[in-house]
Amino acid sequence: MAEKGDMAERRRSREIDSLRRDTDAVARLLRQARLDEIRQDLEEAKSQLDSTESRLSGDSTENK
């Protein structure tokens, strides 16, 4: 009977380890998605700053 208990404990331990790995993977994906969103926001802000700088400098090549 001790073997059944050991096997159940091992199975439970493996399930917990699997859940931890899944949780870590989800956390990594969420961080990556958030970083991609931040990168896009920065690119948009840079584009807006470049456009504003161009207009302020009187650059006539900028389409309005």
Under a CB-based contact definition with an 8 Å cutoff, are residues 43 and 51 in contact? no
Contact 62, 55 (CB under 8 A): yes
pLDDT > 90? residue 45:
yes
pLDDT range class, residue 60, cuts 50, 70, 90: low
**Are 53 and 42 in contact, with CB atoms under 8 Å apart?**
no
The answer to whether residue 63 scores a pLDDT higher than 70 is no
| pLDDT tens, position by position, 1-37 | 558 889 999 999 999 999 999 999 999 999 999 999 9
- What is the rounded distance in angstroms from the CA atom of residue 37 to the CA atom of residue 27? 15
Closest residue by Cα to residue 54 from 45, 64, 44: 64
Q: Whole-angstrom Cα distance, residue 15 to residue 20?
A: 9
pTM over the 0.85 mark: no
Which of the four pLDDT bands, split at 50, 70 and 90, describes residue 56?
very high
